A and B are shown apart, each in its own frame.
Chain A
């Protein structure tokens, strides 16, 4: 069975600090996909990134970066120079090859303090 663990329930940092959100996953499949979603206070879920298990290259998009390490089954998300608009709940998710079902972690509530 697949499982996603986000051990950090809540994080607060001061604006402009860097912050890393942790995600650890479990799966028996060798082919799988990992995702991050953002849920701002307005409530909608916003897709941020999808990564497949064969691509361990780190991804950078502006102030966002993702570190995928199969050896530790982790897919961590770093926000550099955080801003108040980054305040949200962030979800990590996993799906296995051939299965469209997403298994979500419990989310990390990130608060950026101005």
Chain B
């Protein structure tokens, strides 16, 4: 079975540009999570969805960040406008359902904003 799929794997963009990260969760999983990993702050949960509905977005850093999940098999994380401090690895993860199930992570998108 395919795991969590993320695209692109690497993204280099200039400050001020819009960036869109994409995620396809494991088929049948009901929950989807977006994380950011940096050396300074470690792994941070940005937002998570259950059955396509955002449940907790308290980790979204500011209004420049937005996330959507239009259907069970696709989610996007958008940064507009991007800033150098947004440079990080962004992970998407999915889990089988509500409750504290294990989360399965995608390979991540390494974002560099110059």
Contact = CB atoms under 8 A, between A and B. Distances in A.
Interface of A: 32-33, 35, 37, 43-47, 50, 52, 91, 95-102, 104, 106-107
Contacts of B56: 101
B100 A47 contact: no
A43 B108 contact: yes
Interface residues on B, range: 20 to 34
Contacts of A97: 100
B42 A102 contact: no
Contact of A35 (B33, B102, B110): B102
B60 interface: no
11 contacts: A37-B105, A43-B107, A45-B91, A45-B105, A47-B104, A50-B100, A50-B101, A100-B31, A100-B99, A100-B101, A107-B42
A44 B105 contact: yes
Contacts of B42: 104, 106-107
A50 B45 CA distance: 18
Interface in B44-80: 45, 48, 50, 55-56
Q: Which 7 A-B pairs have the closest CB atoms?
A: A45-B105, A33-B100, A95-B100, A104-B43, A50-B102, A47-B102, A44-B107
Contact of A102 (B89, B103, B106, B107): B103
Contacts of A43: 89, 107-108, 110
A46 B19 CA distance: 26
Nearest to A105: B42
Contact of A100 (B98, B106, B110): B98
A102 B99 contact: no
Interface string B9-50: 000000000000000000000010100000000110100101
A96 B104 CA distance: 18
Contacts of B98: 100
Given A47-B105, A50-B100, A98-B99, 17 more contacts: A43-B89, A44-B105, A44-B108, A45-B93, A50-B101, A52-B100, A95-B100, A96-B100, A100-B33, A100-B100, A100-B101, A101-B45, A101-B48, A102-B33, A102-B45, A104-B42, A107-B42
